[in-house]
């Protein structure tokens, strides 16, 4: 087997003064100083958003400068096993703690039903949010991995699913994925009507997972702002440089890269019963090497692969993974694929399944489905890579090597210049 490194030019606008922008946008949402020290609730999710600790700390400080009494509360649907301790561990891994934030951080499974939507859906929210004087929502806005619509992952989903914790997430997902495009804004609209949401901050990331835009919206403009940021997020979202592969090798999957471990928008797979698979990306087989430590054993999305390793399988926390997939109803995503003792054995088996010698196989390797500015390609793609519109350089073909344990060796010494 041989492969070569390919560097890509991806659009990467990035906020230089993160705290300054967050302070400005939060102040614009707040408008003026509070007449009394209102308790302002800020939801904290489970996603590995770059700089989320700095963002939330700045939101806390800005609210306090306006005379508010801010606190954070865990708002992550069924993630963290749906338990207070699991939520606290996830938030701590993201740098979100009472010491770091300078404000209380509440973790709990408690919710209250604040009403129903016009179509009869129950509206659940975290008890802490329901009892607060005001709520300021903070979340990343990006395309969802299971459905598409005017609102996907973002401010509306935080209001409708994240803040509803496990009970809210289950109520939403019970309806089936086909209903999510309508259900998410419907519940979010009801939360906006029934609770003192003063506004929100939407974060859009660039292709390197760095904040490209942060916008603040008052409550009346929150849903419209969420829709607008989704379009910008879709424009900046990276994909694979080709839409047809025989084999994709993913070095690491995990919740810190995507809610589904591997982003379905990138790999072109949903694995949702009754829902047709996308046709824009065609990959015959996917092999995933490892599970990120930041996932805390939640291997949701491992079922999107065809091959994996015993190393990854040993890290799976079944309780966390099963709860996530049972809540969403996407149970196939928890299924562990063919499992091999090493990455070398896994790759040998994948090539065997394709029934062609490696130099004829259209294969690519990526670090994860989020960081796609650099990829590795096999011999069959080496010449083609020079024609890709966003290519910045194509390295020399080199032998694929493995450690004594059979793991792929990704790091290599720089030798000469790229071909393009």
263 is in which domain, residue-wise? Answer: 2-9+238-399
Q: Which has more confidence, 238 or 18? A: 18
Q: How confident is the model at residue 274 (pLDDT cuts 50, 70, 90)?
A: confident
Q: What is the mean pLDDT of the chain?
A: 94
Same domain, 214 and 352: no
Cα–Cα–Cα angle for 43, 45, 48, rounded to 5 degrees: 140
Same domain, 325 and 385: yes
Same domain, 230 and 256: no
Q: How far is CA 225 from the centre of its chain?
A: 20
Give the chain's radius of gyration (CA, Å).
22
Q: Residue 289 falls within a domain, yes or no?
A: yes
Q: Residue 70 falls within a domain, yes or no?
A: yes
pLDDT recorded at residue 281:
95
Q: Residue 27 falls within a domain, yes or no?
A: no
CATH number at residue 86: 3.40.50.11440
Average of per-residue pLDDT across 219-226: 98
Same domain, 198 and 61: yes
Kindly report, residue by residue over 239-263, the tens digit of the pLDDT.
Answer: 999 999 999 999 999 988 888 999 9
Same domain, 104 and 168: yes
Q: Residue 371 falls within a domain, yes or no?
A: yes
């Amino acid at each position: 087997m041989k492969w070569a490194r390919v560097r890509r030019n991806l659009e990467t606008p990035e906020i230089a003064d993160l705290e300054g922008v967050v302070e400005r946008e939060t102040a614009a949402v707040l408008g003026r100083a509070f007449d009394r020290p209102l308790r302002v609730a800020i939801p904290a999710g489970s996603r590995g958003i770059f700089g989320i600790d700095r963002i939330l700390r700045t939101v806390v400080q800005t609210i306090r400068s306006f005379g508010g009494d801010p606190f954070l509360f865990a708002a992550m649907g069924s993630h963290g096993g749906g338990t207070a301790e699991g939520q606290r561990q996830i938030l701590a891994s993201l740098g979100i703690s009472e010491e770091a934030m300078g404000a209380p951080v509440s973790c709990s499974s408690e919710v209250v039903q604040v009403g129903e939507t016009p179509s009869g859906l129950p509206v659940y929210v975290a008890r802490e949010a329901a009892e607060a004087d005001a709520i300021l929502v903070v979340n990343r806005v990006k395309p969802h991995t299971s459905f598409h619509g005017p609102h996907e992952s973002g401010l509306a989903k935080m209001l409708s699913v994240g803040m509803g914790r496990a009970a809210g997430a289950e109520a939403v997902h019970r309806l089936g994925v086909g209903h999510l495009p309508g259900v998410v804004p419907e519940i979010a609209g009801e939360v906006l009507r029934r609770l003192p949401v003063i506004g929100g901050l939407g974060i859009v990331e660039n292709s390197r997972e760095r904040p490209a835009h942060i916008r603040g919206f008052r409550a009346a403009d929150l849903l419209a702002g969420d829709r607008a940021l989704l379009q910008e997020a879709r424009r900046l979202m990276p994909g694979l440089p080709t839409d047809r592969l025989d084999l994709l090798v993913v070095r690491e999957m995990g919740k810190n890269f995507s809610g589904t471990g591997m982003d379905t928008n990138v790999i072109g797979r949903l694995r949702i019963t009754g829902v047709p698979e996308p046709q824009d990306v065609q990959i015959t087989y996917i092999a995933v090497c490892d599970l990120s430590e930041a996932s805390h054993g939640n291997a949701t999305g491992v079922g999107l692969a065809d091959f994996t390793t015993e190393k990854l399988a040993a890290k799976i926390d079944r309780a966390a993974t099963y709860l996530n997939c049972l809540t969403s109803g996407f149970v196939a995503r928890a299924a562990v694929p063919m499992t091999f003792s090493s990455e070398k054995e896994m790759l040998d088996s994948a090539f065997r399944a394709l029934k062609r010698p490696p130099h004829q196989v259209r294969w690519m390797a990526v670090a994860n489905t989020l960081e796609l500015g650099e990829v590795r390609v096999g011999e069959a793609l080496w010449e083609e890579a020079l024609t890709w519109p966003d290519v910045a350089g194509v390295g020399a073909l080199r032998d694929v090597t493995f450690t004594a344990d059979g793991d792929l060796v990704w790091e290599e010494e720089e030798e000469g210049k790229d071909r393009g």
